[in-house]
Amino acid sequence: MTGERNWSLDLIRALAVVEVLAVHFFSNIQYYEEPLAGTAMVAAAFLRPALMTCVPLFLLLSGYLCVGQTWSRDYYWRLGRVVSVYLLASAACLLFKAVAMEGSWNPLIWCREILNFNGAPYSWYIEMYLGLFLLIPFINAAWRGVDRAGRLALTASLVCMAILPSAANLSRYTDAQVQLVPGWWEKLYPLAYYCLGAWLREHPIRLRGPVLLGLAALCPVAGGALHLWRADGGAFGYLDITYWNGLLTAVAAVLVFSVLVQWRPRCPGWLRRSVTGLSRLSLTVYLVSWIPDQVIGALLVQRVPDIGRRLLWGLAAVPASLLVSVALAWCIQWPERLILWGLGRIRTRCARENNRRREAAK
């Protein structure tokens, strides 16, 4: 996208980061080990499906922004920022493990952890996104190669392959051994969200924001009710339908995305700058948030025995984790810029060499 920066897109990315931290908060305070009893636990059962739109929002935004990308040799240089952020965030997390958690100082173990995408424990997203990044120019070529009906068919096919099984295969929720659609392709959900984002750029949903938000709210309500029904007084259990590729999550994410992408609020300058700054640092913030999450989560588990009170502490814990993560990400951006500057020099040198070879070939 060119021209003035679209603050609505920054807002989507910033919201997704905050949701990620909130989802991690549930794991770090041992929410999933406790029975769903009490007002706070039940309320959280409805809140958690709403927060699960975080990863879909990131992927929808990728499709919305990147659908115009074409293949070129220069395209792969853009991986430099993703890889540099991952390496620096991994170094920060490994250093924290070594200092505060009796982790290893062995450089060979550090290399193994980084290569296994365990250096920064939240880096499964990097492993997934690297593959999506490599495919984007070719997905876009297929997208441009068909008409509107073909694009709809491609998007619908990916949705049916990757998202629909979460709701259609009844054996996951009931005693009925029924699989209505193939479930083998469910890990393709990043491609499904990418194409949904590309579709929404060309064909936005033309409904008023309050209507879209009202419809989106029905999804976590339904998801929370399903979790309470399946738990039957026990602990919160995993359900495909409210996971990243869950049908309820997908519908809610598309509706929320559609609201925010067309929202043009009047906000103070400081708020716009804060949202834009968080958006720019979002990937780094996400990766390094593991560090404050470990400290805050362990502190709450030790000092607050009641799970309901721990959940209430989330109102302070999630913002605190966000602030620390932003500070860490801000520090990391300086060596990141140095790495990117070096890569830029190498890229320029390679381009000059290629031009020299072309001229010599003539």
Other beta carbons less than 10 A from residue 150's beta carbon: 12
Res 4 pLDDT > 80? no
**Burial of 320 (C-beta count, 10 Å sphere; 0-12/13-18/19+):** middle
Q: Decide if 268 is inside a domain.
A: yes
Q: What is the DSSP letter of 77?
A: G
Which tokens hold the place of 37? 């009893």
Residue-number span of the structural domain to which 101 is assigned: 7-352
The half-sphere exposure of 150 on its side-chain side, counting CA atoms within 13 A, is 9
Q: Is residue 359 part of a domain?
A: no
* pLDDT tens per residue, range 191-239: 999 999 999 999 999 888 899 999 999 999 999 999 998 888 888 888 8
296-328 per-position pLDDT tens digit? 999 999 999 999 999 999 999 999 999 999 999
Q: Which two tokens stand for residue 168?
A: 């259609």
41 Cβ neighbours under 8 A, 6+ residues apart: 31, 34, 35, 307, 308, 311
Assigned domain for 362 exists: no
Q: Look at residue 355 in the predicted model and tell me its pLDDT.
A: 77
Domain contains 338: yes
CA-based end-to-end distance of the chain = 36
User: Is residue 224 assigned to a domain?
Assistant: yes
How far is the C-alpha of 341 from the C-alpha of 195, rounded, in Å?
32
Q: How far apart (Å, rounded) are the C-alpha atoms in residues 294 and 94?
A: 13
- Whether 218 is covered by a domain: the verdict is yes
Say which residue, 117 or 176, is predicted with more confidence: 117
pLDDT at 351: 77
Question: Is 361 contained in some domain?
Answer: no
Spell out the residues 6+ positions from residue 284 whose beta carbon is closer than 8 angstroms to its own: 85, 88, 89, 328, 329, 332, 333, 336
pTM of the predicted structure, to 2 decimals: 0.93
Closest CA to 315 of 291, 329, 296: 296
When divided into structural domains, the chain yields a total of 1
pLDDT per position as a tens digit, 234-273: 888 888 999 999 999 999 999 999 999 988 878 888 888 9
Please compute, for residue 87, the number of CA atoms within 13 A of its CA located in the half-sphere on the CB side: 11
